[in-house]
Structure 1
Amino acid sequence: MDLMSSHADIATPPAAPSGAGGTQSLERAIALLRAVADAGTDGARLADLMAAVGLSKATAHRLLMALARDGLVEQDGRSKRYHLGPDLVALGDLAALRHRPAPPTPALPQPPEATAPAEMPPALMVRPSAFLRPEYRGESIALAALLCDRHVRTADGARAALLHESVAGQTTELSFARLAHDSARFATVLAGMGVGQGDRVAVLLPKGPELLITALAIWRLGGVYMPLFTTYTASAVAYRLTDSDARAIVTNGFLRRKVPRDNSRPVVTVEGDEAFGPDAVPFWSSLHEAAPLAEVARYREGDAFALIYTSESEPTPLGVSLPVKALSGIEQYMRIGLDLRDDDIYWNMADPGWAYGAYYGLVGPLLLGRTTIFCDGPYDVRQGYRMLTKFGVTNLTAAPSQIRAWHGADPGVSHQFALRILSVVGEPLPPDLIAWANRTVKVPLLDQYGQRETGIFIVNRYDPDGIGRYESEGADGGEAAQPPSGSLGRPMPGFRVVILDPDGREAPAGGAGELAIDVDHSPLFWFESYANNPQRTAQRFRHGRRYYLTGDRAFLDGDGNIHYRGRASDAIQMQQGE
């Protein structure tokens, strides 16, 4: 019996919604308005606003002009600085009729002179993020509602949550409405096995609808989703099950053989051709027999909802817990780092068993109500080309190994794709490979930097309003045709990134040392500790809790660009795959 027969087969991607790009423009305008307010009575220069919000000169100017037309900002004719506009007075008076005036927000304290030299570029100072949303904060956060149910209640409820492509080229669709329905039923199945608030559930599944349904079911119960990469050895699986104290396992018949024979945890197995043993609970049969769970569990902002382990190549793999408050950084990267627009067809090729795939290929699209694209089997260049063409992918992110595979299989002909942006995370790529990719897909290839413990926090961004230009403003707000050679880019808003010398002191512009995050002045930083390994946690904070150390060496130039210079220690990168 075809257990996926209720999912409609499709041959083309869903139509783009109307009003594409409007939400993103609105959020950028709001961020600019807040940045103008932060400047106080002195007003803000255009270059300052560009740096504060992370926009190009053209984009910032266009949005400021729109705000000025409505009286929300005004520009001083002599100083050319921007101030809050007169119409905000009337809006504030109206708001005061309902809301009590809030106490003034204290200015963000600047680092002491001893640790923040005067010559440090302004670009390295923390920039405010527009994505510190109240729904990601507090003590009662309905995560499953944020990632699924609210999308069902909107006009986009029928939108595909997943497009799943089989190796044979057959595409099935799972809508947000069906995802909500199936995950509520599977949550009842897991609850019957004793899974509850804070429990870790190991998910050893290939990319497919069962993976999304399982993740949402875990979050309905307040649990912790723990993906296991499908190529892990049996010993790697056993280590993670024991170290995490997983309450249950969800897998399929083929991968079940990697689960230890002496396993005493309940196991759910997706039905298929492989025999899965008399003790396993059948996934689809149990789901269809269960009543949907009515309640949605609540998380606190610091509660973990995912646990990602480091690579199998690590001597002692480390568990990195992803807290709910990390959703702010995930949304920011999706919207700003990847420039994901309302009309984009987005494909994150990373496996969801790795941090980048889990954060930005699974959680990110669910958070924004966007479609996830999963493709069966190991990466194949011809299949990748077919997927790009079939779905009309416009926004693609890939692993360095996948770009190298493209290069190795290059037939010497160019390809006609709908792509407008291509991002790579995992390791710095050599200039010749970047140039080849630019010629092949005819869009910029943006190399970005992050770790499992941080998410992406340094980006080379593409300027959507500059025709084919990279966004890389200098001190005067001008634009460069290319990012500086070897540059990782600049910090994302909400992070203050510094270079530390061996004694833990911040280096000035041009100084080399270890790349670090100033935790005290990085509101989007979320990492607290490794699961069950305080010694390795202490290494990350060996100069005190003020600084998180990446383990990578870098230097910063006079314009605030950060240049990678290799590993300083046992840095753990945000790999997309091996």
Structure 2
Amino acid sequence: MIRQPDPATPPAAGGTQSLERAIALLRAVAAAEPDGARLADLMAAVGLSKATAHRLLMALAREALVDQDMRSKRYHLGSGLVPLGELAQWRRGIDPPSPATSQPPETGSGLPVAGSPFPEPQPPAPAARPSAFLRPEYRGISIPLAHLLCDRHVRAADGARAALLHESVAGQTTELSFARLARDSARFATVLAGLGVRRGDRVAVLLPKGPELLITALAIWRLGGVYMPLFTTYTTAAVAYRLADSEARAIVTNGFLRRKVPRDNTRPVVTVEGDEAFGPDAVPFWSSLHDAAPLAEVARYRECDAFALIYTSESEPTPLGVSLPVKALSGIEQYMRIGLDLRDDDIYWNMADPGWAYGAYYGLVGPLLLGRTTIFCDGPYDVRQGYRMLTKFGVTNLTAAPSQIRAWHGADPGVSHQFALRILSVVGEPLPADLIAWANRTVRVPLLDQYGQRETGIFIVNRYDPDGADSPDAVQPPSGSLGRPMPGFRVVVLDPDGREAPVGGQGEIAIDVDHSPLFWFESYANSPDRTARRFRHGRRYYLTGDRAFLDEDGNIHYRGRASDAIQMQQGE
């Protein structure tokens, strides 16, 4: 039975009213199962006009909370409710989902294993807190990535929303809408296809932060290719190594940065027109784009297919290639929504360069996935420019590198600043308590550490409270800790023999792969030996290379880096 609103109760205002109507529709769909509900039935049950009911049903469908049978036109409960139901069951101890069964590693895997023939048996491990973001659209063998990251935001009548706000060094702002991004990337995909780029091909992108970078990335994903960012401060030798190691099919750059491309390069080069020398063999970016017909089809990926390839920094003796698979979108969305608490009305600025993992994952892919606006600011980081950006755009949700926080501290004028900031997050390394206290006084919001690596994305956060921020029993992680694991990850501390350390015992931070459904890393693209070191106790545990201890409340306390730890650098 659907409960009708009490006519004596005044209607809720604004978004609250829409939310209540959407919930009522969802309940009406549930009441009509298994036959499904017709639109007319739902209109009558909830007392909505056809236009309002259809609009709310489309919003629920975008989140996979309802499905429509295209033949019968009836509405049914959607697959997106499954992980939500599992999460609710887990919280209440009702028929929890069974954790994956731990199996000993297979022989012949090529990975060193402590002990012989298998490691010492581990006691049964509890399952990780379930994640509500294991969405079906990120799984399977036919995933239209460009649709998820762009086209659906246009088709949802939201194409006018800005995908990008680009701030030049001179302080001029340009806007790229989702509709324009869809059109231009479809045309540029045709340009890349004409240069021989096919499904699975890697395309090197050596571009500054700007609209051409977004357009290029979406064009690559329309073709089913692999986006490979190159940090703009790389040396010529660093660029040459990555081009050769990745076997990149083509290069997209501009006139100034093209000098970093090796002289003996034989790959096609697309160059953004500008003041620099263009070169006789370069393909002009904008001219070719406008001359091309838009690519009609959107390529499909499998969940394990790579759609980005991120290399470690120049400081590595042999830079490692980390492939980002499509299934990693679950963890990216979760971090954006929970770790960063990104809300619909936030103005979000990720200051990390998209040439680094954090900037690529959460400054490029994450905002596109959620249909949010991202902000790119040209040029090297400057404190005055940073303050101007925060004020000009009214940024409410900011992520920064530790070096940028230190730069603020070094240029401190001794006064607090009036910003619109609601939340400030840092990733890269733990910050000392005095610097955190200074930042809290200066920007007047908590400064929250996050922890992750290129191979994992962020999986430990200080923001997320599993009991809910509004719960009277909620306990925030203690000061100085890295925080708690995100849902979908089981994080442990291992002793040198690969055994899980007891509470308070120090060891190496590790992810229990068997009980971490959001973990996605399989191997480095170019180093089986370094892959083996990540799994030196068998495929059960991924080792981060960082030392810590676990307290009785589940908080991870950082205690230093091991010799081969690779952090998720933000870049500067």
TM-score with structure 2 length normalisation? 0.81
Q: Which amino acid counterpart does residue 571 of structure 1 have in structure 2? A: A
Shift of 1:35: 2.8
Q: Contact 2:90 / 2:130 at 8 angstroms: preserved in 1?
A: no
Q: Contact 1:501 / 1:513 at 8 angstroms: preserved in 2?
A: yes
Shift of 1:37: 2.4
2:213 to 207, 211, 214: 211
Alpha-carbon separation, structure 2, partners of 1:369 and 1:290: 26
2:187 to 185, 188, 191: 185
2:236 to 212, 234, 237: 234
- Change over 3 Å in CA distance of 1:463–1:553 after alignment to 2: closer
Give 1:90-129 correspondences, 5 Å limit: 107-109=98-100, 125-129=127-131
Shift of 1:486: 2.1
- Answering whether residue 546 of structure 2 is matched by residue 552 of structure 1, we say yes
1:410 to 409, 412, 415: 412
Residue in 2 aligned with 1:48?
A: none
Q: Which amino acid counterpart does residue 495 of structure 1 have in structure 2? A: F
Residue in 1 aligned with 2:391?
A: 389
Shift of 1:368: 0.3
Alpha-carbon separation, structure 1, partners of 2:376 and 2:411: 22
For structure 2, which runs of at least 5 residues remain unmatched after alignment? 1-13, 24-59, 66-79, 104-118
Alpha-carbon separation, structure 2, partners of 1:297 and 1:219: 7
- Change over 3 Å in CA distance of 1:109–1:199 after alignment to 2: closer
- Answering whether residue 477 of structure 2 is matched by residue 483 of structure 1, we say yes
Residue in 1 aligned with 2:334?
A: 332
Shift of 1:155: 2.5
Give 1:529-544 correspondences, 5 Å limit: 529-544=523-538
Q: Contact 2:86 / 2:97 at 8 angstroms: preserved in 1?
A: no
Alpha-carbon separation, structure 1, partners of 2:220 and 2:450: 31
Give CA deviations for 1:103-136 in whole Å, capped at 9, x if unaligned: x996225769976669x9x7xx510000000000
SS in 2 for 1:155: helix
2:366 to 356, 364, 367: 364
Shift of 1:361: 0.1
Q: Which amino acid counterpart does residue 186 of structure 2 have in structure 1? A: A
- Change over 3 Å in CA distance of 1:357–1:22 after alignment to 2: farther
Q: Which amino acid counterpart does residue 108 of structure 1 have in structure 2? A: P
Residue in 1 aligned with 2:344?
A: 342
Alpha-carbon separation, structure 2, partners of 1:348 and 1:547: 31
- Change over 3 Å in CA distance of 1:560–1:105 after alignment to 2: closer
Q: Which amino acid counterpart does residue 139 of structure 1 have in structure 2? A: I
Residue in 2 aligned with 1:495?
A: 489
Give 1:455-494 correspondences, 5 Å limit: 455-461=457-463, 478-480=473-475, 483-494=477-488
Shift of 1:478: 3.2
Alpha-carbon separation, structure 2, partners of 1:128 and 1:21: 28
Q: Contact 1:252 / 1:270 at 8 angstroms: preserved in 2?
A: yes
- Change over 3 Å in CA distance of 1:362–1:19 after alignment to 2: farther
Alpha-carbon separation, structure 1, partners of 2:466 and 2:456: 26
Give CA deviations for 1:377-428 in whole Å, capped at 9, x if unaligned: 0011111111111111100000000000000001011111110100000000
Q: Contact 2:207 / 2:252 at 8 angstroms: preserved in 1?
A: yes
Give CA deviations for 1:245-288 in whole Å, capped at 9, x if unaligned: 00000000000000000000000000000002100000000000
> What's the RMSD between the two structures over aligned residues?
2.7
Residue in 2 aligned with 1:160?
A: 162
Q: Contact 1:345 / 1:391 at 8 angstroms: preserved in 2?
A: yes
- Answering whether residue 517 of structure 2 is matched by residue 523 of structure 1, we say yes
Question: What is the identity percentage for the equivalent residue pairs of Structure 1 and Structure 2?
Answer: 85
Q: Which amino acid counterpart does residue 527 of structure 2 have in structure 1? A: N
Give CA deviations for 1:60-119 in whole Å, capped at 9, x if unaligned: xxxxxxxxxxxxxxxxxxxxxxx7xxxxxxxxxxxxxxxxxxxx996225769976669x
Q: Which amino acid counterpart does residue 536 of structure 2 have in structure 1? A: R
Q: Contact 1:348 / 1:360 at 8 angstroms: preserved in 2?
A: yes
- Answering whether residue 512 of structure 2 is matched by residue 511 of structure 1, we say no
SS in 1 for 2:483: strand
1:150 to 142, 149, 152: 152
Q: Which amino acid counterpart does residue 159 of structure 1 have in structure 2? A: R
Q: Contact 1:185 / 1:293 at 8 angstroms: preserved in 2?
A: yes
Alpha-carbon separation, structure 1, partners of 2:235 and 2:551: 43
- Answering whether residue 556 of structure 2 is matched by residue 562 of structure 1, we say yes
Shift of 1:508: 1.2
SS in 2 for 1:386: helix
Alpha-carbon separation, structure 2, partners of 1:521 and 1:346: 32
Alpha-carbon separation, structure 2, partners of 1:144 and 1:135: 12
Q: Which amino acid counterpart does residue 382 of structure 2 have in structure 1? A: D
Give CA deviations for 1:314-361 in whole Å, capped at 9, x if unaligned: 110000000000000000000000000111110000000000000000
For structure 1, which runs of at least 5 residues remain unmatched after alignment? 1-16, 45-82, 84-103
Residue in 2 aligned with 1:135?
A: 137
- Answering whether residue 62 of structure 2 is matched by residue 36 of structure 1, we say no
Q: Which amino acid counterpart does residue 107 of structure 1 have in structure 2? A: S
Alpha-carbon separation, structure 1, partners of 2:305 and 2:17: 34
Alpha-carbon separation, structure 2, partners of 1:435 and 1:472: 24
- Change over 3 Å in CA distance of 1:177–1:465 after alignment to 2: farther
Q: Contact 2:351 / 2:400 at 8 angstroms: preserved in 1?
A: yes
